[in-house]
Structure 1
Amino acid sequence: MKNGSDHDLDSVVQFVPVLKYSQSDWNKMKQELELEYNTKVLNKEREWGKKLADRDKKIAYLDEQVLLLRSANEDMKLVVTEFEKTIAQLQADKLKSSSESQNTFGDVIKERDQVKSTVY
């Protein structure tokens, strides 16, 4: 039969867990996990770097388009301004021509009336 101290020793032995991995195994697993983590981080950095580069290209393209559209807009403003000047000049010429025609018509009427009065 076992005495009390042997029983206590067996209890202690039962509670001490047996290590499944050695320190070198832990170090290797830790290194593998760190490598996996660093690989994921590097892949994410590459992915985001590519996304940022694509975004920068798109922004540069859109900036170029804005400049082109602004230039086209300025050109169109000049065309519209010239068109408005031309229309205003045509209206002024028409008014002047109409006024001159009225004056000429009035002169012709006066001459006609003078001729009538001298003839009659």
Structure 2
Amino acid sequence: MNAREGTPRRYPGATMSRKACQMSARTVKVASASGLHARPAALFSQAASEQPAAVTIETADAGPVKASSILMLLTLDVAFDDEVTLRAEGEGAEESLDALAALLETNLDEEFQES
């Protein structure tokens, strides 16, 4: 970034598509009774690691952290009904956000008990 102008630096020979520069975001409420702790966090981080786009997650008080890192997820201390914001950039960003938002809107505690 060019600090004075607030714009990305351009390097000779470097090209970026407009699509690759766009960041998508989604805010959802966590439906798991235990929030993003233990098993729900493990299921979520596994799903995040399988997405085509790199995804971060944050709360109003903490983050952003890599959604694929269970240890970083646990540092957010997300409880039931907390709002979190997911952000993804690049190819497959919208699809990644759709999949992960749907997962967070599911009670993963129940999902795990049924399997």
Q: TM-score range by the shorter chain?
A: under 0.3
Structure having the higher helix fraction is 1
Q: Which one has the bigger strand percentage?
A: 2
Q: Structure 1 length normalisation: TM-score?
A: 0.21
Higher Cα Rg: structure 1 or 2? 1
Structure having greater relative contact order (Cα 8 Å, sep ≥ 6): 2
